Chain A
């Protein structure tokens, strides 16, 4: 544990540390225990993957630790790997802490070997030393340090041991001159290294790094090193030597890929290290580990999927049932606040803006926070225990048929609740194309806010006894359409070879409460900060469009009529009529009428068009807009029989079919679209989504309308 001591950040020494390691080695946990009470944790983001920066002070030094996403090797396969690779190669930092898992040293050293060729100062943290001890693995840290010529420190982020020693070592390494790590290769490679080194020595080539390091990087075909030497006169003579050298190495390894050759070199070097330094106390017996025992049940060919479905069901029950409680409070709170604030504002226009626009807009954003928190706690638990990989393993067979990934299931099912957390949870998909494809079809899973519309229309056109079945069919057709859409997108826009599926199944671990909380907190804050501002803005815009311009004369006329009205009922009828006429005359209404010709081939009139357009703001408003347009008052909901009657009287069955199809397929609400844009990584994706969903909705609605017409005759 590090004691905090404030130092002046300008006069004192800064040390910038890059924290690197393979996935699942407890890096984030380590960073949490290093900076025990973290002074500042900020996310500065890539597209979806964030590097976390932690600042703390120790012994008159000012530390900045950059927690880089886990990476198996220096490849650029996933976003995480790209972020890490770019950072390590291009950014400015003083020292690397390479976190390795002591229980699986050989695999972890593979990344270490690559880091060692980087000619940076480096300290190795042998993490999970407590776990290794439990498994009977004894590591000699001093011996490893000696073999690699790199300081290694045993730590345990979970037990918080060795942390201070680690930081002291970092200080020591920071202060002393750089030393070359020891990496020993096979005879063939060593021979070529000696060749190149002696050539460089002969020509007294001036360089910051050691000749050996330059030689290794040349053989590895490191672009930077090549670029540097390419401009030097010695290049002319060096080039043939290099060509010979790589031929020699490639023949030796029986491959035409120098990276593969080096990977094999590292692997045999690491095997050597591990046999030297790791002592297994208990003899290697084929006893089943805890992970294997759990896996026997959880990925069982028969029980695996039912167990998973049960867990998912539990999570959604929690999200939407438990989440509904605070949602009611939030809703009530903002309702109360609207009234309270509204009472203090005398100007009608300003009051409407503040109450109906601002407060209800911000309220709508905060309303989803409980859902998001619960869902993300669940997902963080599933992920940090290691279960998520099993889910992908179980479901990949089915989803792969549609061009999706096993893990697509989670965002897709979440989509039935609300698209916003669904888009956010698509982050569990590590591969760009898998994630994008999943993002594009999430909105086909009808979210909870669309339910009232379905209930209303099912009730209007079907008897109560079968309305439930109709509802179910609507939901299922959405899901089926989504899968078909995925298949079509996969064959067109996302055409190309399938993304490979090679994924680690990590050990099962108990989740750390602190870490789960940290993840959930940062995700929630990000939602509030980024989406919040946009969503509130959009709500205000829609409020404006549906309230302006005011027809003052009409309002005056109705105000007189309402005053003269005899009964309350009459007053309400008049008020509703005014609201309807105002909406018809508003910008939104004008847009609806303007776009009527577009909707005509689908059998939709301008009122339905306006309802659909308002639905882009939020699906919840579709029913209330229909209510206003059919002049029933704003406070109608799906159980309102008069609206149901009005709809079955005014709308033909075929038009209703087209309307429902559009609601299933077209653009998700504005808030969700904003989250989609952010998760997909650019505004262009929003336009793709807009084009894709609009075309699909239009085409399918057209088809549905004409089929329904044909059948009803």
Chain B
């Protein structure tokens, strides 16, 4: 399954599943990262340590570890 971390800069994807434990999942959801949400990858820090994404109108920074937990598919 494709992970958010695997996406390239500028790519647009749809969330399929969140593989995170309870607290982090709530955190994702409160930021609008939930099933069927559309995500665009905006920026990647050197070596993909941190990435910046756009969900709806909100811009969010994530670490690689967290981006690895988000399963996505191409739109």
The interface of chain A, by Cβ under 8 A from chain B, is: 72-73, 75, 77, 103-104, 106-107, 110, 253-255, 257, 259-260, 263-264, 267, 291-292, 295, 299, 301, 389, 392-394, 396-397, 400, 406, 498, 500-506
- Please tell me if the beta carbons of B63 and A504 are within 8 angstroms of each other in the complex: no
- Please tell me if the beta carbons of B43 and A295 are within 8 angstroms of each other in the complex: yes
Instruction: Specify which of B45, B47, B49, B65 is in contact with A500 (CB 8 Å cutoff).
Output: B65
Chain A residue nearest to B26 (CB atoms) is: A75
The interface of chain B, by Cβ under 8 A from chain A, is: 18, 20, 22-37, 42-47, 49-50, 52, 56-63, 65-66
Contacts A396-B61, A505-B59 known; list 15 others, CB within 8 Å. A73-B30, A75-B26, A103-B57, A106-B57, A110-B32, A257-B22, A264-B36, A295-B43, A397-B49, A500-B20, A500-B63, A503-B61, A504-B59, A505-B61, A506-B59
B7 → chain A, closest Cβ, in Å?
16
- Please tell me if the beta carbons of B29 and A263 are within 8 angstroms of each other in the complex: yes
Q: How far is the CA of A394 from the CA of B52 in the complex (A)?
A: 11
- Please tell me if the beta carbons of A75 and B30 are within 8 angstroms of each other in the complex: yes
A602 → chain B, closest Cβ, in Å?
41
- Please tell me if the beta carbons of B61 and A389 are within 8 angstroms of each other in the complex: yes
Q: Which residues of A contact B46 (CB under 8 A)?
A: 301, 397
Chain B residue nearest to A111 (CB atoms) is: B30
Q: How far is the CA of A178 from the CA of B61 in the complex (A)?
A: 40
Main secondary structure of the interface of B (DSSP, over half): mixed
- Please tell me if the beta carbons of B63 and A400 are within 8 angstroms of each other in the complex: yes
Q: Which residues of B contact A292 (CB under 8 A)?
A: 42
Q: How far is the CA of A7 from the CA of B55 in the complex (A)?
A: 48
Do A72 and B52 form a contact, CB below 8 Å, given A104-B57, A295-B43? no
- Please tell me if the beta carbons of A500 and B29 are within 8 angstroms of each other in the complex: no
Instruction: Specify which of A393, A396, A500, A504 is in contact with B24 (CB 8 Å cutoff).
Output: A500
Q: Can you list 14 pairs linking A and B with CB atoms under 8 Å apart?
A: A75-B27, A104-B56, A107-B57, A107-B58, A257-B22, A260-B35, A264-B34, A295-B43, A502-B31, A502-B33, A503-B60, A503-B61, A505-B52, A505-B59
Q: How far is the CA of A203 from the CA of B39 in the complex (A)?
A: 47
Q: How far is the CA of A73 from the CA of B28 in the complex (A)?
A: 10
- Please tell me if the beta carbons of B35 and A264 are within 8 angstroms of each other in the complex: yes
Q: How far is the CA of A295 from the CA of B43 in the complex (A)?
A: 9
- Please tell me if the beta carbons of B60 and A505 are within 8 angstroms of each other in the complex: yes
A581 → chain B, closest Cβ, in Å?
60
Interface centre among B20, B34, B50 (most CB of A within 10 A): B50
Do A396 and B56 form a contact, CB below 8 Å, given A75-B30, A257-B22, A260-B34? no
Do A259 and B66 form a contact, CB below 8 Å, given A264-B35, A295-B43, A504-B58? no
Chain A residue nearest to B24 (CB atoms) is: A500
Instruction: Specify which of B23, B34, B36, B47 is in contact with A397 (CB 8 Å cutoff).
Output: B47
